Amino acid sequence: MFTEEQVNDAIAEIRKPDLVSWDLLSETKHFKVYRRSVPNSTLKEYKVLGSYPGLPPHYLLRTYTDLDFRKTWDPNMIGWKALKNGRLHFVAKFPWPLYPRDYVYELRAQEFEDGIVCVSSKSVQDESAPENLGIVRVDEFRQDIVIQPTEDGKGCNIWFGYYDNPKGNIPSGAINWAAKSGIPAFLNSLRDAGHGLMKMDIEGGLEEKAQPLQSSEETYVSVNC
């Protein structure tokens, strides 16, 4: 969960990035992806700073958290299951010949002043989702996003942080390629899916805020206002 101080730091970084110990990994029209080494580890963590012009925060939030909808736009998603207490089980494809990976994590959304929304995902242990043969359990995982409305209210700025330990003997070249191309590809797909969601609402004559943030099967996002 985010504190107000962490949110303020993230918003400040959107305006002026903190690049101490961070290296620029890739850059697109609207995003910059940074990477740094995790202390006492060979692993890396990532952060993204950028914007989605023309995509209001609520639509980005829905696209990001609605895992039923994600099935329609994320080619690396195999499936998901809602667990108790706001927990999720998510299975993802990895490039051949690597085994798929699965994640058990808590997903929490928070609303702050000025329309800022934060979503935190963190790995947890849960006996209701045992490990399966042929799938590698990622038990070190964190993914956070801070969504800030743009001044015109028509788009949003984001701070996005990511870290996981995929396990296995994955060549560093494969990891570098996946991070350099995979993160921007995910961000672009997220944008396109969000605009598609807006189009569906407009064509259906639905109000943006009338749409639910949770799956039709079971609530899996806890919003603290």
pLDDT of residue 170: 80
Confidence class for position 67, pLDDT limits 50, 70, 90 = very high
pLDDT of residue 222: 35
Q: What's the CATH number where 85 sits?
A: 3.30.530.20
pLDDT of residue 18: 87
pLDDT of residue 177: 77
Confidence class for position 58, pLDDT limits 50, 70, 90 = very high
Q: What is the pLDDT of residues 69-118, one digit of tens each?
A: 999 999 999 999 999 888 999 999 988 888 999 999 999 999 998 999 99
Domain count across the chain: 1
pLDDT of residue 89: 97
Question: Which structure tokens are listed for 19?
Answer: 């690049």
Q: What is the pLDDT of residues 173-190, one digit of tens each?
A: 777 777 888 888 999 999
Place of tokens 């206002």: 225
pLDDT of residue 220: 33
pLDDT of residue 74: 95
pLDDT of residue 174: 76
Query: What is the C-alpha separation between 201 and 206, in angstroms, rounded?
Result: 5
Residue 171 pLDDT more than 80? Answer: no
How crowded is residue 84: how many other Cβ atoms within 10 Å of its Cβ?
8
Q: Which domain holds residue 126?
A: 4-224
Question: Which structure tokens are listed for 183?
Answer: 């993160």
pLDDT of residue 217: 34
- Paired sense of beta strands 101-111 and 87-92, if any: antiparallel
Q: What is the pLDDT of residues 193-223, one digit of tens each?
A: 999 999 998 888 765 543 433 333 333 333 3
Q: What is the pLDDT of residues 19-57, one digit of tens each?
A: 889 999 999 889 999 999 988 888 899 999 999 999 999
pLDDT of residue 207: 56
